[in-house]
């Protein structure tokens, strides 16, 4: 049987080059080796307040970017989480086997809760919903970044607990990740991972940013006090710029050293900006074409939901039977 891969992305904030080089670009590369499901997790997004109009358009935007970036809608399923009710249903069933203590230990919850005046219960349950996304499809492989590893471990723990309480039901998702991509840091603060939600215009290059804006953001990136690129002593800002160039260009380490050793930062940034712009341009052009026809995108999302719904419903049916909640006699 072909292994199944599943991943998800929240439709909040702008997808940026860190998302592409660290996640989306990898999904594109590996999608044909698997039965692939990529979710736009709108039910996760609303665990913190989203303006309805913005959320609505973000969901479409992300679907468009997926296709523009090379997710093949003839092969891979692009699914808006809320269009398959089984996600929410399984989440509740799993909530009932998840000790609160496990959720209280989640570092992302602690960080998000600390930044919030009042915390919705959904924020607390967030990792259970993510476990449901994964276990619903009996996914074998879940490519996520380092920051989601704790959630993935939790999904395994929940699966294990369910299996031992009610008998073998869920496939254990592997924690081994397929070749993870580059970890791109914030351009204004290269000690923190590039984030969709960070405010400030100097932080990230969004995938849909126009060329002049991309250039401006990169030219303003934090570097260090060396006079030029020194591979032995460079700080995290310079290393990040080089990582972006290398990830987009595919150059070898040797080629990077030969080309960039001693280069002044103004020139380095110019090259990074040009490489970034030229790699994003075809994607942006495809995005315009794809979104010019809203029905085309709707069709892809409808087909995604249609194909995965029977898989999801079969899991929920089995889980209900195992738990002993009502199932008709015939
Ligand atoms: N929590 C993930 C993130 O913020 C998004 C996500 C939701 C996800 N459900 C998932 C990732 C299932 C992988 C699998 O990045």
- Å from CA of 134 to ligand 1 middle: 9
**Residues sharing a CB contact under 8 Å with residue 171, sequence separation 6 or more, in sequence order:** 135, 138, 139, 140, 159
pLDDT in tens, 139-154: 999 998 888 999 999 9
Ligand 1 pocket check: which of 10, 23, 81, 130 to mutate, most ligand atoms within 8 Å of Cβ? 130
pLDDT in tens, 16-72: 999 999 899 999 999 999 999 999 999 999 999 999 999 999 999 999 999 999 999
pLDDT of 179 reads 57
pLDDT of 153 reads 96
Grouping H, G, I as helix, E, B as strand and the rest as coil, residue 7 is: strand
pLDDT of 176 reads 61
pLDDT in tens, 169-192: 999 998 766 555 778 999 999 999
Residue bearing tokens 């380490």: 253
- Å from CA of 218 to ligand 1 middle: 28
Among residues of the chain, what percentage have pLDDT more than 70? 98
Tell which residue, 290, 319, 299, 316, has the closest CA to residue 77: 299
Q: Is 315's pLDDT higher than 60?
A: yes
Average pLDDT value for residue range 203-225? 97
Give the residue, by CA position, lying nearest to ligand 1 atom 15.
9
Ligand 1 pocket residue status of 12, Cβ below 6 Å: no
Contact 207, 17 (CB under 8 A): yes
Catalogue the active-site residues: 112, 193, 196
Q: What is the separation of C-alpha 96 from the centre of its chain, rounded to a whole number of angstroms? A: 27
Determine the topology of domain 211-289 in CATH: Tyrosyl-Transfer RNA Synthetase (1.10.240)
Pick the CATH number of 4-177+293-323 from 3.10.20.600, 3.40.50.620, 3.40.50.2300, 3.40.50.970: 3.40.50.620
Ligand 1 pocket residue status of 133, Cβ below 6 Å: yes
Among residues of the chain, what percentage have pLDDT more than 90? 88
Q: What is the separation of C-alpha 186 from the centre of its chain, rounded to a whole number of angstroms? A: 16
DSSP string, 15-54: -BHHHIIIIIHHHHHHGGGSEEEEEE-HHHHTTS---HHH
Domain map (residue ranges) of the chain: 4-177+293-323, 211-289
130/47 Cα distance (integer angstroms): 12
Contact 4, 37 (CB under 8 A): yes
pLDDT of 118 reads 86
């Amino acid at each position: 049987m072909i292994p199944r891969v599943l991943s998800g992305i929240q439709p909040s904030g702008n997808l940026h080059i860190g998302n592409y080089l660290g996640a989306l670009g990898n999904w594109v590369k590996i999608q044909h080796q698997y039965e692939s499901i990529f979710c736009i997790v709108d039910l996760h997004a609303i665990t913190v307040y989203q303006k309805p109009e913005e959320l609505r358009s973000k969901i479409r935007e992300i679907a468009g970017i997926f296709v523009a970036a090379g997710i093949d809608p003839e092969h891979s399923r692009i699914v808006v989480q809320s269009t398959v009710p089984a996600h929410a249903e399984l989440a509740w069933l799993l909530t009932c086997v998840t000790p609160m203590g496990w959720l209280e230990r989640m570092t992302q919850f602690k960080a998000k809760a600390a930044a919030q005046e009042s915390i919705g219960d959904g924020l607390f349950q967030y990792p259970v919903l993510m476990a449901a996304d994964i276990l619903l499809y009996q996914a074998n492989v879940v490519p996520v970044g380092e920051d989601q590893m704790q959630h993935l471990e939790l999904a395994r723990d929940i699966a294990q607990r369910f299996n031992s309480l009610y008998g073998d039901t869920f496939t254990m998702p592997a924690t081994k990740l397929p070749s993870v991509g580059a970890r791109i840091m914030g351009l204004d603060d290269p000690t923190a991972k590039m984030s969709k939600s960070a405010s400030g215009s100097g932080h990230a290059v969004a995938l849909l940013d126009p060329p002049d804006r991309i250039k401006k953001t990169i030219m303003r990136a934090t570097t260090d006090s060396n006079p030029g690129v020194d591979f032995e002593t460079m700080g995290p800002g310079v290393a990040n710029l080089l990582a972006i160039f290398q990830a987009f260009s595919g150059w070898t380490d040797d080629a990077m050293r030969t080309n960039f050793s001693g280069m002044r930062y103004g020139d380095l940034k110019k090259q990074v900006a040009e490489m970034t712009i030229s790699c994003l341009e075809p994607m942006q052009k495809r995005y315009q074409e794809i979104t010019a026809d809203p029905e085309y995108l709707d069709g892809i999302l409808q087909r995604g939901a249609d194909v995965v719904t029977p898989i999801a419903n079969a899991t929920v049916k089995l889980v209900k039977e195992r738990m002993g909640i009502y199932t008709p006699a015939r």
